[in-house]
């Protein structure tokens, strides 16, 4: 009875979540095309993937499903990816985890962007990037240069501010010269001779 009730209410909590297409801002040979593919990647492969993403701003989030601060920021990342995902490539890096737990985490927070999986027991990619601990959110400009990083759970305001800095400034139309904008004088502004 309990099993049939669980199935009717959303399924087996241990079941593998559905694999949804990832919302990617660009294409690259190593970039997963589904949200929960979680392909294994090592430090050299991760570096290659970042190189393949040049031309598009990138937000990398290093996370683990077991990490409390990662859970606190997960909804913020999902919202940011929904808002900016057409212009900025979001990429998760799951570390010190199992793929099954990682996939459940991705599904729980409805991430629409891909993640890759570092199978090393010591979080080699994170360490080679120069960080200790998680979560870490790293911001790369369109030229592939790291321009910012946030260690710990990032707030929505800080995430938005850093993503905005990655985007090109909006183009504003040129303004006319001030002389052309000056309205003609009104009749009350014209000096009158006094008798």
Q: Domain range spanning residue 158? A: 39-166
> Does 172 reside within a domain?
no
Q: For residues 4 and 81, what is the distance between their CA atoms, to the nearest angstrom? A: 35
> Does 112 reside within a domain?
yes
- Give yes or no for a contact between 97 and 104, defined as CB atoms under 8 angstroms apart: no
Q: Residue 49: its pLDDT value, please? A: 98
C-alpha distances (whole Å) from 162 to each of 157, 158, 167 are 9, 6, 9
> Does 119 reside within a domain?
yes
> Does 125 reside within a domain?
yes
Six-digit token pair at 162?
A: 């850093």
Q: Dihedral, CA atoms, 90, 82, 19, 96, nearest 10 degrees?
A: 40
Q: Residue 33: its pLDDT value, please? A: 95
Six-digit token pair at 61?
A: 């989030």
Which residues are paired to 139 by β-bridges? 59, 148
> Does 14 reside within a domain?
no
User: At 150, which CATH number?
Assistant: 3.40.30.10
State the pTM of this model.
0.80
Q: Residue 148: its pLDDT value, please? A: 98
> Does 154 reside within a domain?
yes
Number of domains the chain contains: 1
> Does 114 reside within a domain?
yes
Give pLDDT tens digits along the chain (195 positions): 333 333 334 445 555 566 789 989 999 999 999 998 999 999 999 999 999 999 999 999 999 999 999 999 999 999 999 999 999 999 999 999 999 999 999 999 999 999 999 999 999 999 999 999 999 999 999 999 999 999 999 999 999 999 999 998 776 666 665 555 555 555 555 555 555
């Amino acid at each position: 009875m309990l099993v049939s009730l669980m199935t009717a209410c959303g399924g087996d909590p241990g079941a593998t979540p559905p694999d949804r297409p990832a919302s990617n801002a660009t294409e690259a040979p190593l970039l997963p095309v589904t949200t929960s593919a979680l392909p294994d990647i090592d430090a050299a492969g991760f570096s290659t993937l970042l190189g393949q993403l040049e031309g598009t701003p990138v937000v990398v989030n290093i996370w683990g499903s077991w990490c409390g601060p990662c859970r606190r920021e997960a909804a913020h990342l999902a919202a940011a990816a929904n808002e900016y995902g057409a212009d900025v490539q979001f990429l998760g890096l799951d570390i010190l985890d199992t793929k099954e737990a990682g996939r459940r985490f991705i599904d729980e927070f409805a991430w629409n962007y891909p993640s890759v999986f570092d199978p090393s027991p010591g979080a080699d990619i994170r360490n080679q990037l120069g960080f200790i601990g998680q979560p870490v959110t790293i911001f790369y400009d369109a030229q592939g240069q790291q321009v910012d990083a946030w260690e710990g759970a990032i707030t929505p305001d800080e995430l938005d501010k850093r993503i905005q800095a990655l985007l090109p400034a909006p183009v504003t139309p040129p303004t006319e010269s001030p002389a052309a904008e000056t309205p003609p004088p009104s009749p009350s502004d014209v000096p009158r001779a006094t008798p």
